[in-house]
Each structure stands twice: as structure tokens, then as C-alpha cells.
């Protein structure tokens, strides 16, 4: 079964062709990052307009890359939640039109379920159940992946997402947008114990996280140094910050894995590209005798292939939509009904 999959929830317009959920035939991506860099963050209206300009071009490119024609498409999938709503709606409406035009099924995909599915592409042997740490620019959560389409949220951030936290600190440092990659590179060779940054604890919710205190403490540290004209050891600052983010995530991953009793742990989303978090996960999982699955770096960020992969399993579970499909800015990952 060949699925044309559309992803437009934030600042990448991506269209992929995926066969039977696990074989990526093509993956065309138009990034808007250069445009948003000017403003230091994603400007929602610009994102929507850029998706509108790029989406047809990406679909044609994905078909050309795969050497396929429109008639070869068996179903059309799209991210329908969560995301910037104007951006999501561009992809949903495009997918609805293509599905209607070709007379093929329409498959709505939850964006974070898509990120999780990036692991199926990287690891052909991976099957649920497993525990997944989902960390991106807009979401940070621990998910019990009971089955390909049955998921339960075990814990989540109470405030900022981990990626948002990286981006805000990087913006003040002036090292680029999105800031996670530049912060990761800056941290190389730094002393991760040089600057003291807080770790959070949410009372009565051990699997919930909080990043706003860490973000504020890091920004205060930077502003104080600027005001006092003190020179910071930037690699050590970035390393200390990366260690604090990782400490927020990794112990909770282990705790959640113990709670579920699963021997398999995965990570997903843009922040799962972070070298410190990957290393800490590897060490902790090895120590606890857990098998760790990490997505290929190129599949950590937003892409169409992951949507096409998850869409296949949604289709097998009967989760197709009619043409009343709408887009949503937020939606529980466990919700099985697209309406
Ligand atoms: O998954 P993603 O591409 O988009 C969303 O669905 O949000 O994640 C983007 C986020 C950004 O906040 C970006 O700074 C972060 O992923 N990111 C990283 C790294 N690469 C990307 N954060 C930390 N370390 C990285 N190496």
C-alpha cells in the first residue's frame, strides 16, 4: 500500500511516499527556517502562507523522487493535530483535496504519533509495546505505546517544552534559530558542572516535568553576567544547560519504563537529536538492562515519512476520516477518534 503523507504542523512543509508503513520511497521537505530566523521564532501567519506556496511543489517532488505517478497513490495521510492551527489546516485541506480527487482513503495522523513512528523506519525490528520519550519544540511527554494505535500519556511538561527552552536560551545567546542544534554544538568540550541550574520536581506527579524554572534561571544567569559585564564560559554554560535538561528527562524515562514493565525504550522528536540526551539515555538504559531505540538524526525533526509510517497502522486499525476532517491545535495522543 502506497501512502502519500503530508506534514505541515510547524515550519517544515513535508510530503513523503511510504510503502506498507516501513519503506520510505521519497521524502521531500521545504524548510522555512531561514524566513523565521529573521524574527527569532516561528511567525504563525508566515508559516501558513509558506506551506501554501510549497505544498504542491513538495507533492510533485515526492512523486518524482519515487518515480511514481498520482494513480499509484493508494491513500493520503496528513498531520491533523497538534500544531500551529493555520499551518495544520493547509496540510489537512491539501490532503482532503488530493484524497477526494483520487478517490482514495484519507488518514488523519497525530503529529506526535508520527514522531514515535520515525523509530519504525530506523529500526525495522521495533514493535510495540514500548515506552517513548517524545521531546520536540512544542511537546514533552512520556508515552506508553501499548500498540501501534493505542497510546497513553504517562507524564508531560507542566509548562514549556524542552525544545522551546533550548530555543529561548539560544535566542538570548544570539546563536540561531532553532536553538537546540547550536546549543548542542556549543556544549562540546564544556564543563557541565560549572554552572548550577535547577532541576524540578512536581509534587504527587513524579512523571510530570517542568522547564520554566530552568529557562528562567538560565536567562537570569545570562542577563546578570551581561549587566555585570562578566564573561561567561559559553561552552560550559551550554553543557550545564544540556545536563539540566537531560536530568529532567532521563531519570523519568527510567521510572516510567519500570512502571510499565517494558524492556524497550524509544525517543522521538527534534530534541531527541541532542547528543547529551542520547548519551545519557544510552548509559541509563544499559545500566537498567533496557533496550534503547533512537531515531536516525534526519528523522528526529519534522518529516513526511514518519506521518506515512504511522498512517499505515492507523489505516490497518480502521482510523480513516471522511471529508469533514478538521485540524486541531492540540489533541490528546491517546484519543482514537479524529472527530
Ligand atoms: O520535532 P521538531 O522538529 O518540531 C516540533 O514538532 O516541534 O522539534 C524542533 C525542536 C526545536 O526546539 C529545536 O531547537 C530542537 O527540536 N532541536 C534540538 C536539537 N535539534 C533540534 N534540541 C536539542 N538538541 C538538538 N541537537
Q: How far apart are CA 310 and CA 111, in angstroms?
A: 9
Give the dihedral of Cα atoms 148, 13, 97, 320; nearest 10 deg: 10
Distance 136 CA to ligand 1 centre (A): 5
Tell me, using a 6 A CB cutoff, whether residue 301 lines ligand 1. yes
Tell me, using a 6 A CB cutoff, whether residue 138 lines ligand 1. yes
Predicted confidence pLDDT, tens digits, the chain (339 residues):
999 999 999 989 999 999 999 999 999 999 988 888 888 788 999 999 999 999 999 999 999 999 999 999 999 999 999 999 999 999 999 999 999 999 999 999 999 999 999 999 999 999 999 999 999 999 999 999 999 999 999 999 999 999 999 999 999 999 988 999 999 999 999 999 999 999 998 889 999 999 999 999 999 999 999 999 999 999 999 999 999 999 999 999 999 999 999 999 999 999 999 999 999 999 999 999 999 999 999 999 999 999 999 999 999 999 999 999 999 999 999 998 888
Tell me, using a 6 A CB cutoff, whether residue 269 lines ligand 1. yes
Q: Whose C-alpha lies nearest to ligand 1, atom 16?
A: 270
- Ligand 1 atom, smallest distance to 300 CA: 1
Q: Whose C-alpha lies nearest to ligand 1, atom 18?
A: 180
Mutate to test the pocket of ligand 1, among 8, 301, 305, 333 (most ligand atoms within 8 A of CB): 301
Distance 294 CA to ligand 1 centre (A): 14
Distance 330 CA to ligand 1 centre (A): 18
Tell me, using a 6 A CB cutoff, whether residue 137 lines ligand 1. yes
pLDDT at 34: 83
Closest residue by Cα to residue 302 from 3, 5, 4, 14: 14
Distance 203 CA to ligand 1 centre (A): 28
For residue 313, the Cα-to-chain-centroid distance in whole angstroms is 19
Report all structural domains of the chain as residue ranges with CATH numbers, in order of start. Answer: 2-115+301-316 (3.30.420.40), 127-298 (3.30.420.40)
Q: Which residue has 504517562 as its cell numbers?
A: 154
Amino acid at each position: 500500500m502506497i501512502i502519500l503523507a503530508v506534514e505541515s504542523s510547524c515550519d517544515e512543509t513535508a510530503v513523503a511516499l511510504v510503502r506498507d508503513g516501513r519503506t520510505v520511497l521519497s521524502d521531500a521537505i521545504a524548510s522555512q527556517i531561514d524566513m523565521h530566523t529573521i524574527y527569532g521564532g516561528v511567525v504563525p501567519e508566515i508559516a501558513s502562507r509558506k506551506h501554501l506556496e510549497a505544498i504542491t511543489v513538495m507533492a510533485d517532488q515526492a512523486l518524482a523522487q519515487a518515480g511514481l505517478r498520482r494513480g499509484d497513490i493508494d491513500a493520503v495521510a496528513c498531520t491533523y493535530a497538534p500544531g500551529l492551527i493555520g499551518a495544520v489546516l493547509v496540510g489537512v485541506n491539501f490532503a482532503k483535496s488530493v484524497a477526494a480527487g483520487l478517490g482514495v482513503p484519507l488518514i488523519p495522523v497525530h503529529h506526535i504519533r508520527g514522531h514515535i513512528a520515525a523509530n519504525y523506519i530506523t529500526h525495522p525490528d521495533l514493535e510495540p509495546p514500548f515506552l517513548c520519550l517524545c521531546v520536540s519544540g512544542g511537546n514533552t511527554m512520556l508515552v506508553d505505546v501499548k500498540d501501534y494505535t493505542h497510546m497513553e500519556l504517562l507524564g508531560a511538561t507542566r509548562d514549556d517544552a524542552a525544545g522551546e527552552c533550548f530555543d529561548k536560551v539560544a535566542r538570548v545567546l544570539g546563536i540561531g534559530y532553532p536553538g537546540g542544534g547550536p546549543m548542542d554544538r556549543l556544549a562540546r568540550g564544556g564543563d557541565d558542572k560549572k554552572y548550577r541550574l535547577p532541576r524540578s520536581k512536581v509534587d504527587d506527579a513524579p512523571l510530570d516535568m517542568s522547564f520554566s524554572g530552568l529557562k528562567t534561571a538560565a536567562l537570569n544567569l545570562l542577563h546578570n553576567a551581561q549587566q555585570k559585564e562578566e564573561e561567561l564560559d559559553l561552552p560550559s554554560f551550554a553543557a550545564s544547560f544540556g545536563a539540566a535538561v537531560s536530568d529532567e528527562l532521563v531519570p523519568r524515562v527510567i521510572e516510567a519504563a519500570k512502571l510499565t514493565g517494558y524492556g524497550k525504550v524509544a525517543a522521538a522528536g527534534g530534541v531527541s537529536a541532542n547528543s547529551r540526551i542520547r548519551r545519557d539515555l544510552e548509559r541509563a538504559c544499559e545500566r537498567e538492562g533496557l533496550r534503547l531505540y533512537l531515531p536516525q538524526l534526519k528523522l528526529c525533526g519534522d518529516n513526511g515519512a514518519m506521518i506515512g509510517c504511522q498512517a499505515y497502522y492507523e489505516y490497518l486499525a480502521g482510523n480513516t476520516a471522511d471529508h469533514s476532517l478538521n485540524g486541531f491545535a492540540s489533541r490528546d495522543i491517546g484519543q482514537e477518534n479524529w472527530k
